């Protein structure tokens, strides 16, 4: 690639400095041979609560670091709108997420391969998980050590979690000390993407190091508004920074890493998407790609709330100034204690039906209780546990509502629109209740506050799910990888029918993984970077793959 060009010309332009984008920025600049522009719509990740793990709860409604999206009214959730937070800051959603490190099931990736995606079976993606990882427990066949993404055992044993894990065992769910080990099923503590009690976003793990390289240029508060084309070849990006609109040109590739809502939005704004939708907003159709923005998948969670018989919950700490300051002091002195925990403390992966091969439900067990995500803790001793179906069949969409890039797209996950998702929600709540009714847990429960003892039948539980269910923040698959006509990218993440254009982020997942999605997004960034570099080394002009 050329050594020197003017300030608007690069080898690669990456849109979005999120989980995958920061990985790409690091890997593509490592050799020093490629000049890379990284565009990020948000700003620096200096906000204090980004770095303190528990601070994620303070970022739900912070417009400085969060796009603050919301779904359209959800027909199967009594027409409620569901909040859809997304990171708008260096590190993207990895800077505001709940830090849980879960890769999903080996079978998820084998399924991707079965769908026709060569190179994406578990055996193929494992090296990328390992390369990314700096596992505190050390390396083994499934884990890596020394990689940029720190993974650690932050959670100290807690009496409520100990009781939950024991109750799960009494209910027939085995103990599992590594959800990313040979078997996902079981109950145990979560590991976090954290280092020495601090959040370890991809901005911390990958970008901080890469920003020291002269061949990486990072533009902040830079909203990519349009992909520039010469025929079927992507040649650059137009972006808005303050009042200015600027072009930047890529001799190599334009790589979209804007996440599951913004990557399809940018494609649609650029004329790639369902033709009728684009024409309806006065956008010239470059290619009628009906799959762009389709197949939105997300994990719905349904929370149970409990009053605790003992003052051992986080509510008791936060609501008492002495305990609160004690916890703050402990964090400052040792980086341990309540401020160092993430979105779940303990959890479980379980099968709601014995005939299933692998878990279909994840439980997040939380040692505090609130009315809604990010709200103040209850004034009483309380805790929660949520049920999340791992492989939802409901499919939604992301569609632009305007040709103005600043107008958020319509987001409609269509939660609980598939029969199996309703049945699994009910079965998951029933199984969770069985765990909570085990003697070791029962003695800590003063009251099942929600859904409550009057909620008994399957119809009651489903009605409760519809009334209270909310996202676990895992949207994927809106630029789905595949070989079928609706797939947006091929197995090398190239936008079908175009040259010099890839999507490399959570939007390419053929199906959402059975777990939290950050680790998979980082893996996709790692694998995607290799593909870009391999193609550059081969000198191959990117093939038209449609
Ligand atoms: C509140 C919350 C809690 C979560 N908890 C967990 C958890 O505990 N564990 C877990 O594994 N996963 C969790 N997730 C999910 C996980 O963080 C995401 O799946 C993952 O970060 C997605 O990575 P990505 O690279 O696809 O997108 P993102 O990380 O969202 O990055 C996209 C980036 O692109 C930028 N961008 C978008 N459009 C443009 C544009 N037009 N121009 C310039 N820049 C643009 C955005 O500002 C952002 O920085 C959570 C997510 C949220 C929001």
What confidence tens digit (pLDDT) does each residue in 322-377 have? Answer: 999 999 999 999 999 989 998 889 999 999 999 999 999 999 999 999 998 888 99
Q: 315 and 366 in contact (C-beta within 8 Å)?
A: no
- Residue 258 beta carbon below 6 angstroms from any ligand 1 atom: yes
For atom 46 of ligand 1, which residue has the closest CA?
Answer: 88
**Per-residue pLDDT reduced to its tens digit, 82-132:** 999 999 999 999 999 999 999 999 999 999 999 999 999 999 999 999 999
- Residue 163 beta carbon below 6 angstroms from any ligand 1 atom: no
- The predicted structure's pLDDT at residue 399: 98
Q: 192 and 154 in contact (C-beta within 8 Å)?
A: yes
User: Cα separation of 385 and 394, whole Å?
Assistant: 23
Other C-beta atoms lying within 10 Å of the C-beta of residue 436: 20
For ligand 1, mutation pick of 42, 93, 349 (most atoms within 8 Å of CB):
93
Residue 156 Cα to ligand 1 middle (Å): 27
User: Cα separation of 175 and 100, whole Å?
Assistant: 18
Question: pLDDT at residue 544 above 50?
Answer: no
User: Cα separation of 240 and 438, whole Å?
Assistant: 57
For atom 18 of ligand 1, which residue has the closest CA?
Answer: 518
Question: pLDDT at residue 2 above 60?
Answer: no
- Residue 223 beta carbon below 6 angstroms from any ligand 1 atom: yes
The pLDDT confidence band at residue 4, using thresholds 50, 70 and 90, is very low
- The predicted structure's pLDDT at residue 418: 98
User: Cα separation of 329 and 332, whole Å?
Assistant: 5
Cα distances (Å, whole numbers) of residue 343 to 291, 317, 374, 481, 517: 32, 17, 11, 29, 13
CA 326 to chain centre: 32
Residue 94 Cα to ligand 1 middle (Å): 6
User: Cα separation of 481 and 477, whole Å?
Assistant: 8
Average pLDDT over residues 487-495: 98
DSSP label of 158: -
- The predicted structure's pLDDT at residue 277: 98
For ligand 1, mutation pick of 61, 518, 522, 526 (most atoms within 8 Å of CB):
518
Question: pLDDT at residue 1 above 80?
Answer: no
Instruction: Exactly one of 143, 299, 364, 474 is catalytic; name it.
Output: 474
Q: For residue 516, how many C-alpha atoms fall within 13 Å in the half-sphere facing its CB?
A: 26
User: Cα separation of 75 and 57, whole Å?
Assistant: 27
Crossing angle (nearest 10°) for helices 518-538 and 122-132: 100
Average pLDDT over residues 243-247: 97
- Convert 231-282 into a string of H (helix), E (strand) and C (coil): CCEEEEEEEEECCEEEEEEEEEEEEECCHHHHHHHHHHHCCEECHHHHHHCC
Average pLDDT over residues 480-489: 97
Average pLDDT over residues 510-534: 98
As given in the structure block, the two tokens for residue 302 are 């349904």
Question: pLDDT at residue 80 above 50?
Answer: yes
For ligand 1, mutation pick of 24, 45, 87, 298 (most atoms within 8 Å of CB):
87
In the annotation, is 474 catalytic?
A: yes
Nearest in space to 185 (alpha carbons), one of 421, 520, 515:
515
The pLDDT confidence band at residue 155, using thresholds 50, 70 and 90, is confident
As given in the structure block, the two tokens for residue 169 are 């065992």
For ligand 1, mutation pick of 405, 508, 517, 529 (most atoms within 8 Å of CB):
517
- The predicted structure's pLDDT at residue 3: 42
CA 13 to chain centre: 22
Task: Return the ligand 1 atom nearest residue 525 CA.
Answer: 25
The pLDDT confidence band at residue 446, using thresholds 50, 70 and 90, is very high
Residue 23 Cα to ligand 1 middle (Å): 13
As given in the structure block, the two tokens for residue 127 are 């090296």
Coil, helix or strand for 492? coil
Average pLDDT, the chain: 96
As given in the structure block, the two tokens for residue 330 are 């402990």
Residue 256 Cα to ligand 1 middle (Å): 13
Average pLDDT over residues 171-198: 97
Coil, helix or strand for 195? strand
The pLDDT confidence band at residue 545, using thresholds 50, 70 and 90, is very low
Residue 258 Cα to ligand 1 middle (Å): 8
- Residue 106 beta carbon below 6 angstroms from any ligand 1 atom: no
Cβ within 8 Å of residue 514, ≥6 positions away = 104, 105, 107, 108, 184, 349, 358, 359, 360, 362, 390, 391
Percent of the chain with pLDDT over 70: 98
Residue by residue, DSSP assigns 413-445 as --TT-SHHHHHHHHHHHHHHHHHHTSHHHHTTE
Crossing angle (nearest 10°) for helices 159-170 and 419-436: 110
User: Cα separation of 166 and 157, whole Å?
Assistant: 12
User: Cα separation of 20 and 523, whole Å?
Assistant: 8
Average pLDDT over residues 176-184: 98
Percent of the chain with pLDDT over 90: 95
Task: Return the ligand 1 atom nearest residue 262 CA.
Answer: 38
Residue 43 Cα to ligand 1 middle (Å): 14
- Residue 27 beta carbon below 6 angstroms from any ligand 1 atom: no
pLDDT winner (highest mean) among 5-14, 118-127, 148-157: 118-127
Q: 304 and 475 in contact (C-beta within 8 Å)?
A: no
Could you give the angle at the alpha carbon of 104 between the alpha carbons of 370 and 182, nearest 5°?
A: 120
Cβ within 8 Å of residue 182, ≥6 positions away = 142
């Amino acid at each position: 690639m050329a050594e020197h060009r003017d300030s608007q010309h690069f080898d690669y332009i990456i849109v979005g400095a999120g989980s995958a984008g920061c990985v790409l920025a690091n890997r593509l600049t490592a050799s020093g041979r490629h000049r890379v522009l990284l565009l990020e719509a948000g700003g620096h990740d200096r906000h204090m609560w980004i770095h303190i793990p528990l601070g994620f709860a303070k970022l739900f409604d912070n417009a400085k670091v969060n796009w603050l999206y919301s779904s359209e009214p959800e027909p199967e959730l009594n027409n409620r709108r569901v909040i859809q937070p997304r990171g708008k800051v260096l590190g993207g959603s990895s800077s505001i997420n709940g830090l849980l490190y879960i890769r999903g099931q080996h079978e998820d990736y084998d399924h991707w391969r079965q769908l026709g995606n060569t190179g994406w079976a578990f055996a193929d993606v494992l090296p990328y998980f390992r390369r990314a990882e700096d596992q505190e427990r050390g390396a083994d066949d499934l884990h890596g050590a020394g990689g940029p993404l720190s993974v650690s055992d932050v959670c100290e044993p807690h009496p409520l979690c100990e009781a939950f894990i024991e109750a799960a065992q009494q209910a027939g769910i085995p103990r599992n000390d590594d959800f990313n080990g040979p078997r996902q099923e079981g109950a145990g503590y979560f590991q976090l993407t954290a280092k020495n009690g601090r959040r370890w976003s991809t901005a911390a793990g990958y970008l901080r190091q890469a920003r020291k390289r002269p061949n990486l240029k990072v533009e902040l508060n830079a909203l990519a508004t349009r992909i520039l084309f010469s025929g079927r070849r992507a040649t650059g990006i137009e972006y808005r920074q303050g009042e200015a609109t600027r072009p930047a040109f890529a001799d190599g590739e334009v790589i979209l890493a804007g996440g599951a809502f913004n990557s399809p939005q940018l494609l649609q704004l650029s004329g790639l998407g369902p033709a009728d939708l684009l024409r309806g907003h006065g956008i010239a159709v470059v290619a009628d790609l009906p799959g762009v923005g389709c197949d939105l998948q997300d994990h719905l969670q349904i929370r149970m709330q409990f009053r605790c018989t003992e003052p051992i919950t986080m509510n008791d700490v936060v609501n008492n100034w002495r305990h609160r300051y004690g916890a703050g002091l402990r964090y400052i002195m040792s980086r341990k204690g309540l401020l160092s925990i993430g979105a779940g403390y303990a959890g479980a992966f379980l099968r709601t039906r014995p005939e299933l091969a692998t878990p279909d439900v994840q439980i997040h067990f939380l040692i505090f209780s609130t009315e809604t995500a990010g709200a103040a803790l209850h004034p009483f001793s309380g805790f929660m546990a949520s049920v999340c179906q791992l492989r939802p069949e409901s499919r939604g969409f992301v569609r632009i509502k305007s040709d103005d890039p600043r107008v958020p797209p319509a987001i409609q996950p269509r939660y609980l629109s598939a029969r199996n998702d309703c049945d699994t929600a009910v079965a998951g709540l029933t199984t969770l209740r069985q765990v909570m009714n085990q003697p070791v847990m029962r003695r800590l429960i003063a009251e099942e506050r929600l859904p409550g003892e009057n909620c008994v039948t399957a119809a009651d539980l489903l009605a409760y799910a519809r009334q209270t269910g909310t996202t676990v923040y895992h949207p994927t698959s809106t630029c789905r990888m595949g070989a079928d006509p609706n797939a947006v990218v091929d197995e090398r993440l190239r936008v079908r029918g175009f040259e010099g254009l890839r999507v490399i982020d959570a939007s390419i997942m053929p199906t959402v993984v059975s777990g939290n999605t950050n680790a998979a997004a980082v893996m996709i960034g790692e694998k995607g970077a290799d593909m870009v570099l391999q193609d550059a080394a081969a000198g191959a002009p990117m093939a038209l793959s449609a």
